Amino acid sequence: MAHSFYVNFGKKNIWRMSEMKKTFIASAIAITINTGSAIAAQGDVQFFGTVTAKTCDLVVEHEGAVVNMIQLGSVTNGGTNAGTDIGANKSFTLKPASGVTCNTITTAKMAWSSPAMTVNGIGNLSGKAIDAHVKLVAINSTGKVQTDTNADKEIKAGQNTVDYSITGSGLTDEGFKFKAQLIGGTIPGDFDSAAAYSVAYN
């Protein structure tokens, strides 16, 4: 079964995560509807999901706890892509929920999607710091859960999927590890964005 969630970056430079309802074809849909207007409007709807052979419900773990919020902190707006313009790495792991056994899964493909995804990472959707972005990296494990490149892999436009090779109880023991950084641009303000992921297992 595919799993999708939104990653929200709020006005206090935080990363909020909540797992969406899972269906056999999971979809991440962003729709804005305005009623009572006489003006016709057009827009796009994004459908994002996966059909998979096996299931494994995941939760987000951060600093030893199951959480739905990861604070990315604040950075300066020097626009140098160095020093205080770069936030600290915040690590989190996607692991099977308590009581869920996923030891028969040997491979997985994770895909990320966001209307704000650029060649730099996940950009700003509606906040004022419009040239800031989040650098999201899939961490390669030296143990039982390894990426297809056997190295860390940055998530960005044109490179938004990660294939994993899983040995034994690796998914339960280690999970899918990530790190995220807020990267400031030249414009100060809040950062408000979103992303979704979907996982197909074999």
- The pLDDT tens digits of the residues spanning 98-134 come to 888 888 899 999 999 999 999 999 999 888 999 999 9
> How would you class 16 by CB atoms within 10 Å of its CB: exposed for 0-12, middle for 13-18, buried for 19 or more?
middle
The answer to whether the predicted template modeling score (pTM) of the entire model surpasses 0.85 is no
Q: Is the predicted pLDDT of residue 141 greater than 80, yes or no?
A: yes
Mean pLDDT taken over the chain = 78
Domains and CATH numbers, the chain: 5-32+42-201 (2.60.40.1090)
* Number of other residues whose CB lies within 10 A of the CB of residue 201: 23
Tell me the β-bridge partners of 154: 137
pLDDT at 198 over 60: yes
- Strands across the sheet containing 107-113: 69-71, 14-19, 5-9, 194-201, 107-113, 161-166, 145-147
Token pair for 4: 């999708």
